[in-house]
Amino acid sequence: MKKILVTGSEGYIGRHVTDFLLDEGYDVICSDISGKYHDERCTVCDYPIFSGDKDVFCKTGSPDILIHLAWQDGFIHNSEAHMSNLPCHKKFIKDMLAGGLKSLTVMGTMHEIGYHEGAVTDNTPCNPLSQYGKAKNDLRLYLTELIGNQHSDTAFHWLRAFYIYGDDRRNNSVFTKLLSASEKGETTFPFTSGRNSYDFIHVKELARQIGIAALDTEKSGIINCCSGKATPIGAMAEKFIEDNGLSVSLLYGSFPDREYDSPLIYGDNEKITELVKDYYDNKG
């Protein structure tokens, strides 16, 4: 049975990744800065992963697979923490690889791409516009070179998520804000034109895709974790209001569509679709 270390295991995405892997019967080592763990089935790792200790691989349980989700201020795209913490992420993963890690999965983001219209593939050029996107893209380039030059026998997955929803009280999306507005008794909600279309994925489906991608130790490279289609944000918001019985109406056009927002963007999901199919075919 493979041992899987999940960093950021109590984060918005991490909780659901941990649940998926535990439900599938894997030995999960959970690491989170909060020191609080919601599932007693996991093995708790309270070792500080950013301590700078070169023996971090052994001290985190010598995992077969690392799923690195830990990231400060993921919802604050221009936080100074993204670039200031980047050296810690690089050293941690470098030391894990040097210690003997053979399979690495790291969470990336669509924000590495920047402005783009249409499908995002492995070969879509990156021109990140936020500190979050720039830091993630820098880490991807660093790891690609490091593994290519020094650890070519290591499986490396770089996963890109798009517009995540679900478990919305723990999110910071427009859906979270709609819930908050409704709870405050507000009946209207200022909105953009609602025409911009994004690739929406429920956090539990995202977690399943992350877990399945990480469990594959044969393939490497960029993998889009996504639905593979674009839906107007206005339509998604209207459906969310209806599904949750909220007494809030969208005031379209209250805010202009931002010039740097892609009017239509979605991920090419061919790779993840194949991996999910193979996973369940092999399970029988």
In the set 37, 132, 198, 266, the catalytic residue is: 132
Number of H helices, E strands in the chain: 9, 15
- The widest CA-to-CA distance across the chain, in whole angstroms, is 58
Can you name the residues that pair with 156 across neighbouring β-strands? 104
CA distance linking residue 241 with residue 229, whole number of Å: 21
Q: Where are any strands of DSSP class E within the chain? A: 3-7, 27-31, 43-44, 65-68, 103-109, 118-120, 155-161, 163-165, 188-190, 197-198, 200-202, 221-225, 231-232, 249-251, 265-267
CB-based contacts of 16: which residues, under 8 Å, 6+ apart? 167, 203, 204, 206, 207
Assess whether 260 carries a catalytic annotation: no
Write the DSSP string, 60-100: TT--SEEEE---TTTT-TT-THHHHSHHHHHHHHHHHHHHT
C-beta of residue 16 within 8 angstroms of C-beta of residue 167:
yes
CA distances from 239 to 235, 244, 246, 250, 266 (A): 6, 8, 10, 11, 19
Active site residues: 132
